[in-house]
Amino acid sequence: MASYCKLSDLFPIQSQLDHALEDATTQEEKENLVHQYLHKIDENYLIIPDFEEGLEWLNTDGPLSLRKELSGKVVVLDFFTYCCINCMHLLPDLHQLEQSYTIEDGLVVVGVHSAKFPNEKVLQNVRSAVLRYDITHPVVNDRDACLWQELEVSCWPTLVLLGPRGNLLFSLVGEGHREQLFLFTAAALKHYREQGLLKHHDVGIKLYRDSLPPSILSFPGKIAMDPSSKRLAIADTGHHRVLVVSNTGQVLHSIGGPSSGRRDGNLFEAQFSSPQGVFIKGDTVYVADTENHLVRKINLSEGKVSTLAGTGVQGTDKEGGALGPQQPISSPWDVTLGNAGGDVLWIAMAGTHQIWALFLEDGKLPKGSDSKKGTCVRFAGSGNEENRNNVYPHKAGLAQPSGLALAPTEPWECLFITDSESSTIRSLSLKDGAVKHVVGGERDPLNLFAFGDIDGKGIDAKLQHPLGVSWDEGSSLLYVADSYNHKVSLSAPDTLTMH
């Protein structure tokens, strides 16, 4: 039986390159370092195992093999799971890479879907994610994470670059490595092209999306209703648009779509990119324009769309404090309107695992300083991906908050949060900023794998990646979209129960 290597065999060699690149000052120096490294790594001949037989493949005519169809190619393996916001953040880098280098140039990107949640192992759900995220490269559903385990991958996302013999070249862990990804890929293609080892054959790409009929909606993310006008706002996420409809289903306005873009202006020229959360009040619709990393405002009476927060580039700032259009933000997933001494838009900032506030009027956060109109600032969450509750909002830890519901009256006066990656419902006090547990998860703040499908109380109740929540003030009940369990659950915050 052949002896294969693991990522741990690569790390000691690559770490020397990583340190040298940190000290390099010019692009030419960096390219020379990578060129020397490739000669060295070739001598080690670190070969990885092939994909298991019988796996389910998407976007291809059939299964791919490192020893056959992918032989002679530089291959980028993207170990991802479709729920993960960090994996989503990586997709634009891969898309740009595929635009820069084609399969005929010798580059193939392969998504290796390695599920976190049981729901993510189902082929149809992976297929939907491939469509939703507009993934156009081959994807293998490695439902038992066989290759992940054989290589000893440790977290999502992880990129593994292979040479034309299935030989390990580089590994990049997490998001935010675009420069290294392009540097390594360009160098590898040049290195193996000069050696005559690259092949230019097709690998049998067959996009699943091309076989589908048109649909009225495409992966609608969220919905909101204006009680006074009875109008609904729908985030038609896959069509990159927002619909405003009557309570009888008549489409009154369609803003954006069908393709993604980023443009303010009148309702007919405005563009969005995979909008998620919406909130409608009167003639105003607030939109979490997720993949543009913006918060937008639709003024129906004036017929205009404007940007309230974000620069259009994914931000890494975890504190904020600048005026909205100057404040970079990261993957806002939901919005709801509230009050903090003045109107404020609460934002579930999934990309930084926090709750932010956008002041529509002058106001003040609990345990915070005064903020001027237009200020966009962090309210709760350290930015660490955790299930950590704390009376001090900045010390609490959230994990990809994806849904918000406002309970504005006594005794609640809080935001309820679906914290998707911890599979919990949390509350955030609007009086003192305390973050508390409602249901789901477990006591260890670092355990983000405490999920399931169990009715019960507190941590005995289990959810699976909830994405939405709605508050019924009359009954004091939460309606929870327990997304990966395919259920709507009821939670009573006063007794910390769920059923």
Q: Which domains does the chain have, with CATH numbers?
A: 7-211 (3.40.30.10), 223-498 (2.120.10.30)
- 317-355 residue pLDDT tens: 999 999 999 999 999 999 999 999 889 999 999 999 999
Beta strands in 350-475 (DSSP E): 354-359, 363-364, 370-371, 375-380, 401-407, 414-419, 424-429, 435-440, 456-457, 468-472
Cα torsion 430, 433, 436, 441: sign: positive
Which two tokens mark 198? Answer: 């690259």
The Cα 235–Cα 299 span in angstroms is 16
Across the chain, mean pLDDT equals 96
**Mean pLDDT across the stretch 4-13?**
94
- Predicted confidence (pLDDT) at residue 444 exceeds the cutoff of 60: yes
CB atoms within 10 A of CB 102: 11
CB 142 within 8 A of CB 116: no
The dihedral formed by the CA atoms of 15, 20, 21 and 25, expressed in degrees to the nearest 10? 170
**Mean pLDDT across the stretch 293-316?**
98
- Predicted confidence (pLDDT) at residue 360 exceeds the cutoff of 90: yes
Confidence of residue 357 (pLDDT cuts 50, 70, 90): very high
- Predicted confidence (pLDDT) at residue 359 exceeds the cutoff of 50: yes
The Cα 108–Cα 447 span in angstroms is 35
Percent of the chain with pLDDT over 90: 95
- 162-201 residue pLDDT tens: 999 999 999 999 999 999 999 999 999 999 999 999 999 9
Which two tokens mark 286? Answer: 């607030």
Confidence of residue 485 (pLDDT cuts 50, 70, 90): very high
- Strand pairing partners for 482? 487
- Predicted confidence (pLDDT) at residue 2 exceeds the cutoff of 70: no
- 362-397 residue pLDDT tens: 999 998 889 999 999 999 999 999 999 999 999 999
Reduced to 3 states (helix: H, G, I; strand: E, B; else coil), residue 96 is helix
Confidence of residue 45 (pLDDT cuts 50, 70, 90): confident
Confidence of residue 208 (pLDDT cuts 50, 70, 90): confident
Percent of the chain with pLDDT over 70: 100
- 61-89 residue pLDDT tens: 999 999 999 999 999 999 999 999 999 99
**Mean pLDDT across the stretch 394-412?**
97
- Position 202 scores a pLDDT of 96
Q: Give the rounded distance of the alpha carbon of 151 from its chain centre.
A: 24
Taking Cα atoms as reference points, which of 409, 437, 443 lies closest to residue 424?
437
The Cα 195–Cα 222 span in angstroms is 52
The Cα 416–Cα 107 span in angstroms is 45
* Token pair 């259920």 in the structure block, residue: 487
**Mean pLDDT across the stretch 16-34?**
96
Reduced to 3 states (helix: H, G, I; strand: E, B; else coil), residue 285 is strand
Rg (CA), the chain: 24
- Position 128 scores a pLDDT of 96
Confidence of residue 1 (pLDDT cuts 50, 70, 90): very low
